Structure 1
Amino acid sequence: MKSTKTKLLLGILVSSLFVYLAFRKIHVEEMLHAFGQLNCWYLLPALLFVFLSLWIRAVRWGYFLRPIKRVNLKALF
């Protein structure tokens, strides 16, 4: 079996390759300009819905696991 360092290095190399392939045609100046035009007020409801969704998932998993063992909602979240 490969060593942990070899697996870590291989994972970093593969991840770096795919990050490069994903962003190679992105122009940094255009991206910064787009972020400058961003209306941050739209992020607040989006973040609220993300955390609400995560909370609902945690509650659902609590109901699924209840017959086996009661798990604290904090541990599920």
Structure 2
Amino acid sequence: MPDIYNNATYLANDPTWHEEDAPFKTERILTLLHRNALSLNTVCEVGCGSGQMLVQLAKKLPATTRFTDFNIS
């Protein structure tokens, strides 16, 4: 099986890393947090692509929230 994340195939097929989906996904996450009365000190996203969801979350969550992301590429 080819490694599409390390050989640039994924990037060639999805140059935006699906950033356009970040606002929608972020709103769903915020809805779940509020619905369940959860507050976060830290957020870790694995498979973050461009990291745009964390950028969006950082705008909405308290400034003291720490963000970490990991992506194979």
More contact order relative to length (CA 8 Å, sep ≥ 6): 2
TM over 0.5: no
Higher radius of gyration, 1 or 2: 1
Q: Which has the higher strand share?
A: 2
Q: Which has the higher helix share?
A: 1
